[in-house]
């Protein structure tokens, strides 16, 4: 994705996931906002965004971070603001993956994966995606998660519209560090 679209995508992530007040927005309980309201708020805040650029970012975002429906937009997951995505629990595959920065490795091995400031822990369907996620913040580490056992033990899983798996917490007994694993 071109740099201009990446910059816009990051800005949309900020206001649709974390700080809608930056442009004077209020998201509804599901995290939605009317596209016209979003565009007007951006313009009034001195950060104009065209409808064309917005649609281009949504269409070209490789992680499909945003969804448009019935003239409204929202982020698919990753919110730190209180919203209800309305996702239903679904059985996960036997294994999923989590990528993070190496600086988090020791804490994760001690306490498991925690949602921290987000609503839930994010898990990837494959090792390569998890590795790319971990690389965003430096040297990556990758964990495999025994989601099949977690599910059988009563943990709930959800899948966002863009395929990211979500859960509330991953205890250490379900984690294996596979950072040095050769695929």
Q: What pLDDT is stored for residue 5 in this prediction?
A: 85
- Looking at every residue in the chain, the average pLDDT score rounds to 90
H-only helix segments in 45-183: 51-60, 105-111, 127-135, 147-152
List Cβ neighbours of 131 (8 Å cut-off, separation of 6 or more): 99, 140, 142
More confident residue, 119 or 48: 48
d(CA 179, CA 58): 32
Hey, what are 135's tokens? Answer: 């690389």
pLDDT per position as a tens digit, 107-146 = 999 999 998 877 789 899 999 989 988 888 789 999 999 9
What are the boundaries of each domain within the chain?
A: 3-75, 96-177
Q: What pLDDT is stored for residue 25 in this prediction?
A: 93
Q: What pLDDT is stored for residue 63 in this prediction?
A: 74
Q: Once rounded to an integer, what is the mean pLDDT over residues 12-35?
A: 92
Residue 1: pLDDT above 80? no
Sheet holding 72-75, edge to edge: 33-34, 72-75, 66-69
Give me the residue label for tokens 């369907």: 125
d(CA 11, CA 80): 15
Q: What pLDDT is stored for residue 152 in this prediction?
A: 97
Specify whether domain 96-177 bears CATH 3.40.1080.10. Answer: no
Question: How many CB atoms are closer than 10 A to CB 88?
Answer: 8
List Cβ neighbours of 95 (8 Å cut-off, separation of 6 or more): 144, 145, 146, 147, 148
d(CA 65, CA 6): 12
More confident residue, 161 or 13: 13
Q: Once rounded to an integer, what is the mean pLDDT over residues 28-56?
A: 94
User: Which CATH fold topology does 3-75 show?
Assistant: Arc Repressor Mutant, subunit A (1.10.10)
pLDDT per position as a tens digit, 80-110 = 788 777 889 999 999 999 999 999 999 999 9
Residue 183: pLDDT above 60? no
**Is the distance from CB of 150 to CB of 89 less than 8 angstroms?**
no
């Amino acid at each position: 994705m071109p740099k201009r679209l990446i910059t816009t995508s990051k800005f949309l992530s900020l206001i649709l996931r974390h700080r809608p007040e930056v442009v004077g927005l209020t998201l509804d309980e599901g995290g939605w906002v009317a596209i016209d309201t979003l565009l007007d708020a951006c313009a009034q805040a001195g950060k104009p965004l065209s409808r064309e650029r917005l649609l281009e970012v949504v269409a070209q975002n490789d992680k499909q971070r945003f969804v448009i429906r019935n003239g409204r937009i929202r982020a698919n997951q990753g919110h730190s603001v209180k919203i209800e995505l309305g996702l239903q629990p679904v059985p996960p595959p036997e294994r999923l993956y989590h990528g993070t920065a190496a600086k988090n490795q020791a804490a994760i091995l001690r306490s498991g994966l925690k949602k921290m400031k987000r609503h839930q822990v994010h898990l990837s369907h494959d090792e390569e995606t998890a590795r790319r996620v971990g690389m965003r913040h430096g040297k990556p580490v990758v964990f495999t998660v025994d989601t099949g056992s977690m599910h059988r033990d009563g943990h709930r899983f959800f899948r966002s519209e863009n395929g990211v798996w979500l859960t509330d917490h991953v205890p250490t007994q379900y984690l294996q560090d596979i950072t040095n694993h050769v695929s």
